[in-house]
Structure 1
Amino acid sequence: MTQLHRRRGPLALFGLGLAAVLTLSACSGDGSGSAATGGAGTSADAQQTSAQPAKLTVQPADGAKDVAPSDAAQVTVANGELQTVTLTNPDGKQVAGQLAADKRSWAATEDLGYGKKYTWSGTALGADGKQITIAGSFTTVSPRKQLTASLNVGDNQTYGIAMPIALTFSSKVTDKAAVERALTVETAPHTEGSWAWVSDTSVHWRPKEYWQPNTQVKVAANLYGLKIGDGTYGKQDVTASFSIGRSQIVKGDVKSHHMQVIRDGVQIADYPASYGLDSDPGRVTHSGIHVVMSKHPTYSMSNPRYDYFDVNVPWAVRISNNGEFIHGLASSVWAQGKQNVSHGCVNLSPARAKEYYDGALIGDPVEITGSTQTLSAKDGDYSDWTYSWADWTKLSALAS
């Protein structure tokens, strides 16, 4: 028994050594072994994963109806690139578009029409080397009604530091939030401001504080193709670029019977004036921030309540829609600087009225103090400054 045990010991050790040699040979093979083959299989799986077919997203999708022309018309591709994209109108004309530099997206760059059928065509090449076709069609909406809009500001014009931007619609706006999202105001330097709906047909933008002098402003109402209400869409875009001029503030004190003009922080005039008769609430000049709305070399004034008609006055500057002007009136020179006798207007001598008229800009603020009546929102289109900033921002359709 002892001898048998001694003879088997070396054989067992030899077997273990042979197994170790075979194992090392397999691990250090020349690439033809199973381990090397397994590594090549992993690489092939990764390559197969990256070589996916192109995946298209087309907007509007094939068969879409009542598409708003303002909706994006675009094609995007994943796992590949776009080769050609064409969007054609019913007349066979191609819609202008732009292919992105990485060839992964295409977007229309011109407005679509109302009530038209558009057709997609083109190709995309997938990462797998296979080409796929872009196809389909959609139809834009035929509006029940189209709204027009107009701005109170014009290109290349210069306005005063209290000038509001007013956008007025041809009829009632139902979806005010949609409209407000389509409005932009760009300013240099940056100016904090807000849109506010002053009625169902008018939305205004004003700065939090008076404009900084020489501010450059661009306003855009991107309304074409926009759904404004049930079956109602915008008819056209409206834009304007304008400037804010020098700072000029008129300060009128009904108790002192004077009117000062402050330009760029310096008082340039102090005019004797006569304001509205204090004892009659219907004739008092309202306290508050007025805004110059228009200028007229002569203006015919009538007020049946006080029995005067077609009274022509020189150098009339409208400062509200409730009948308040700054104008010349020779017949009240005796009271100017001493007594308030007008029917709500600020009376100056004709010569002083002309001097003021020549230097005034639409949008200049006119700050009246000391009267028994206060200007309010019902006093006209440019009563934006009668609101506190907190109250003004609450009138935005996007206010949270």
Structure 2
Amino acid sequence: MRTKLRAVTALLLGAALLAGCSSTEAGKANPEGAGGGAPQESASVAKFTAVPAADAKDVPVNVPVAVSVSDGTIDSVAVNNPEGKPVAGKLADDKKSWATTEPLGYGKAYSYAGKATGTDGKTIELKGAFNTVAPAAQVRGTVFPTDDQQVGVAVPIMVKFDAPVSDRAAVQKALTVTNTANVKGSWAWLGDSEVHYRPEAYWPANTKIHVEAKLYGVAYGGGAYGSSDVTSDFTVGRNQVVKIDTPTHQLVVQRDGQTVATYPASFGKDADPELTTPNGTFVVMQKDEQWSFDNPQYGYTNVLKKWAVRFSNHGEFIHENNDNAANIGKNNTSHGCANLTEADAKAYFDTAMIGDPVEVTGSITTLPAKYDWYDWQVPWAQWQTLSAI
């Protein structure tokens, strides 16, 4: 009996060995697959690409999150902020790409997820997370002129910052100016925290100007970034130019190239380079019905004068000075200002506009280009060299 049992066992074992060496494909010989488990499904041909990639650090906040798929179409995509709220985004018409439509926040962790269906009908999933850049400082920028202002034809566009800017080129690339006259201009840096824009010649009258400073997310250098975008829409008014030829003792107002008023005046002392009204093209920058003039060096403080129109930060104004009426129209006796009678000062004041040019000639002194707003003191060729790009 034992001998027969061993023979049967050996026969069964040999049959089993022959079956294991079969050349039949495993899937056909064993529909349940090797080991008896379910068959493993092959991956979809579709592939997701996400920018930023999963686990990215210091991601810019002003660059859209972009998701695309190859060999398939997107079913859904969501980017969520740390509070779990979705960031606005838009799916392309062909359903092959998706991008955020609102900026991200500084120093935040975001997650994203998505699904797509491949051309083979199989689905894939996208999952990831990233962190945005955290600035060492956020710097505010402002634009002048502001919305809805009407200004004169010499007005410069000014973008000023709360702190110095290291990467001027990066900032300047974020600034655009468009206008209805299609006049071209150039930016010029007049310091580490101030950049101005002007055309080669005065703005055409009645030009509408749009300024856009897309500063949010711009790296200023040194870990500082722009805190917000800012825009401005303003209008250039009529063309009015004040012409002062100091030896004539007259202040001439021209509008659209025609003289509309001539006022007797007394300008700065002709022979004193410290007190003369200097040569140059200046800009009306301030108007006050009354202004207190102080110059202790020359013995006067709190001298109140009416109808004061400032045209230089060096200290020059056009204003009433009835105390000097005997010299108005006859002698230049002021300390640099243009003195008018009260009636004439009021008449001029009522027509003056921030941004009007004031052109001074005939003086023994020419003011150096350093007293804001000195934009038109800089020749055009030199002005263009002050651009960062």
Correspondence for 1:188 = 180
Correspondence for 2:371 = 379
> Deviation of residue 91 (structure 1)?
0.3
Runs of at least 5 residues in structure 2 that lack an aligned partner in the other structure: 1-43
Given candidates 379, 383, 387, the residue that maps to 1:388 is 379
Q: TM-score, normalised by structure 1?
A: 0.84
Does structure 1 retain, via aligned residues, the 8 Å contact 2:59–2:133? yes
Given candidates 49, 53, 56, the residue that maps to 2:45 is 53
Does structure 1 retain, via aligned residues, the 8 Å contact 2:243–2:358? yes
Does structure 2 retain, via aligned residues, the 8 Å contact 1:277–1:283? yes
Correspondence for 1:270 = 262
3-state DSSP class of the match of 1:255?
helix
What are the superposed Cα offsets for residues 27-52 of structure 1, whole Å, 9 maximum, x if unpaired? xxxxxxxxxxxxxxxxxxxxxxxxx9
Does structure 2 retain, via aligned residues, the 8 Å contact 1:68–1:227? no
> Deviation of residue 155 (structure 1)?
0.7
> Deviation of residue 124 (structure 1)?
2.3
Which whole-Å CA distance do the structure 1 matches of 2:48 and 2:220 have between them? Answer: 31
Which whole-Å CA distance do the structure 2 matches of 1:130 and 1:264 have between them? Answer: 72
> Deviation of residue 372 (structure 1)?
1.2
Given candidates 283, 292, 307, the residue that maps to 2:284 is 292
Does structure 1 retain, via aligned residues, the 8 Å contact 2:64–2:101? no
Given candidates 330, 334, 354, the residue that maps to 2:346 is 354
Identity of aligned residues (%): 49
Which whole-Å CA distance do the structure 1 matches of 2:107 and 2:315 have between them? Answer: 47
Show the 5 A alignment for 1:69-108.
Answer: 69-108=61-100
3-state DSSP class of the match of 2:348?
helix
RMSD: 1.4
Which whole-Å CA distance do the structure 2 matches of 1:130 and 1:216 have between them? Answer: 55
Correspondence for 1:279 = 271
3-state DSSP class of the match of 1:128?
coil
What is the letter of the counterpart of residue 145 of structure 1?
A
Does structure 1 retain, via aligned residues, the 8 Å contact 2:64–2:103? no
> Deviation of residue 383 (structure 1)?
0.5
Which whole-Å CA distance do the structure 2 matches of 1:57 and 1:370 have between them? Answer: 69
What are the superposed Cα offsets for residues 294-314 of structure 1, whole Å, 9 maximum, x if unpaired? 100000000111111010010
What is the letter of the counterpart of residue 172 of structure 1?
P
Which whole-Å CA distance do the structure 2 matches of 1:65 and 1:241 have between them? Answer: 37
Given candidates 152, 165, 182, the residue that maps to 2:157 is 165
> Deviation of residue 81 (structure 1)?
2.6
3-state DSSP class of the match of 1:270?
strand
Show the 5 A alignment for 1:1-400.
Answer: 53-380=45-372, 382-398=373-389
Which whole-Å CA distance do the structure 2 matches of 1:53 and 1:273 have between them? Answer: 85
> Deviation of residue 370 (structure 1)?
0.8
Deviates more, 1:331-340 or 1:360-369: 331-340
> Deviation of residue 82 (structure 1)?
2.1
What is the letter of the counterpart of residue 143 of structure 1?
P
Alpha carbons of structure 1 residues 391 and 83: separation in structure 2 relative to 1, 3 Å: same
> Deviation of residue 66 (structure 1)?
1.0
Q: TM-score, normalised by structure 2?
A: 0.86
> Deviation of residue 339 (structure 1)?
1.1
Which whole-Å CA distance do the structure 1 matches of 2:334 and 2:96 have between them? Answer: 71
Does structure 1 retain, via aligned residues, the 8 Å contact 2:281–2:359? yes
What are the superposed Cα offsets for residues 6-29 of structure 1, whole Å, 9 maximum, x if unpaired? xxxxxxxxxxxxxxxxxxxxxxxx
Count of equivalent residues: 346
Does structure 2 retain, via aligned residues, the 8 Å contact 1:54–1:125? yes
Alpha carbons of structure 1 residues 225 and 315: separation in structure 2 relative to 1, 3 Å: same
Which whole-Å CA distance do the structure 1 matches of 2:119 and 2:178 have between them? Answer: 42
Which whole-Å CA distance do the structure 1 matches of 2:57 and 2:292 have between them? Answer: 55
> Deviation of residue 102 (structure 1)?
2.5
Which whole-Å CA distance do the structure 1 matches of 2:167 and 2:137 have between them? Answer: 14
Which whole-Å CA distance do the structure 1 matches of 2:318 and 2:324 have between them? Answer: 13
Correspondence for 2:16 = none
> Deviation of residue 176 (structure 1)?
0.7
Which whole-Å CA distance do the structure 2 matches of 1:98 and 1:174 have between them? Answer: 35
What are the superposed Cα offsets for residues 130-152 of structure 1, whole Å, 9 maximum, x if unpaired? 32222211101111111112222
> Deviation of residue 77 (structure 1)?
2.9
Which whole-Å CA distance do the structure 1 matches of 2:179 and 2:68 have between them? Answer: 34
